[in-house]
Amino acid sequence: MTWSDAFCVMRGLQAATIVTGAVPVSVNVRGLHQEDYMMTPLMPRTGAGFIAPDIHIERMNTDKTRKVIGSGVDYQIFFDLSSTPAPEWRTIFFHEWKESGSAHHTELDGPFLVVHCPLTAMTPVELAKLEQTVATANEAYHCFAQGEVTEVARREQEWKQERNAVEAVASALHFGEPATAHRAEG
């Protein structure tokens, strides 16, 4: 199971349900940390749920790219991202990047993706690997966000049912009517 699959997990620390297509699958998710997938506000809500825009690498930022102080060959290579990623997206990205097998350290600094490597190591192949990792993180984040929307909708429906039950009981108590009318019915 990949982290992308596992990130569809919505609750639980030791075992949870992942939705793959329409089939829920139980899995053990030991090793994920609670802070990796706690509910946090994702994005502004719309009538349809949460907006989870894709993150994209827009360009290499040549103004910010610089040699690492004290290093003979390593650079901090900055890439502009389309927006600042959410904390959940960041967690997914770092895991996916680690799984990609790249030897280069990455960090996310606001709307920037920073890769630590020799300048000559940033090849089209390495960029493609970064872009693929970003795409995979987007996919997993969308799964996570959809799960959040589904969970919010479920909780709202549960709340409405509870409120309807409370209103039904309150109506059956016939407040405002004479007490003799209640006894005659009961």
Structural domain count of the chain: 1
- Tens of pLDDT, residues 120-140: 999 999 999 999 999 999 999
Whether 78 is in a domain gets the answer yes
Are 147 and 8 in contact, with CB atoms under 8 Å apart? yes
Task: Work out the average pLDDT over 80-91.
Answer: 94
> According to DSSP H, which parts of the chain are helical?
3-6, 87-99, 124-172, 179-185
Mean pLDDT estimate for the chain: 75
Whether 3 is in a domain gets the answer no
Residue 85's domain comprises 53-153
Whether 141 is in a domain gets the answer yes
Whether 60 is in a domain gets the answer yes
Whether 38 is in a domain gets the answer no
Task: Enter the pTM of the model.
Answer: 0.58
- The pLDDT-based confidence of 168 (bands split at 50, 70, 90) is confident
Whether 93 is in a domain gets the answer yes
Whether 113 is in a domain gets the answer yes
Q: Give me the CATH number covering residue 92.
A: 3.30.1360
